[in-house]
Amino acid sequence: MTKFEVLRYPNSILRKKCDPIETIDDDVVQLAQDMLETMYEDKGIGLAAPQIGITRQLIVLDIGDGPLALINPKIVEAEGSDIMEEGCLCLPGINVDVERSERVRVIALDPKGEAVDIDADDLLARALQHEIDHLSGTLIIDKVSKLKRDLLIKKYKKAQQ
């Protein structure tokens, strides 16, 4: 397995819209394994392909219940709302309160090409929404007011120097 380097904001790849995966071949399976490896090494609970520079619709997660790799994930139902503090491997040192749906239903394919249908709440619902956001180039700093965002970016840039 290969550990990738996680890109950091403001790398422009993090803003790209990711392409759906048409064929689940060995490369995709390998990529999912490498992403899990990278996520565990960096002590994250989720990772999306664009975070390692690959603009394809693949995310991996492990909130403590074991690894999950989802291809072309889509939120098909969402309800409730909840605010929780989140961080992101692309924005080290930044933690921000993010409002998200409390419960989501996500459909996807797993690396074997089987259909997956997940009804998630709590941390899993949050992690899924965070990672799926990455596939359309959305980051946690986009989920707050412009004023808050400007402050966070200032703080982040200072810490990166």
What is the token pair recorded at 82? 């909840």
Least separation in angstroms between residue 111's CB and Zn ion is 21
Interaction between residue 49 and Zn ion (CB under 5 A): no
Where in 4-43 is the site for Zn ion (CB under 5 A)? none
Indicate the residue among 52 and 88 with the shorter CB distance to Zn ion.
88
Distance CA 52, CA 46 (A): 12
Shortest distance (Å) from residue 90 CB to Zn ion: 6
Looking at the Cβ atoms of 85 and 114, the one nearer to Zn ion is 85
* Binding-site member from 14, 18, 24, 88 for Zn ion (CB under 5 A): 88
The DSSP secondary-structure symbol of 63 reads S
79 is an active site residue: no
Specify whether the backbone of 151 is left (phi greater than 0), alpha (psi in -120 to 50) or beta: alpha
Q: For 96-131, what is the HEC assignment?
A: EEEEECCEEEEEEECCCCCEEEEEEEHHHHHHHHHH
With respect to Zn ion, which residue has the nearer C-beta, 88 or 108? 88
Please report, as ranges, the residues that interact with Zn ion according to CB under 5 A: 88
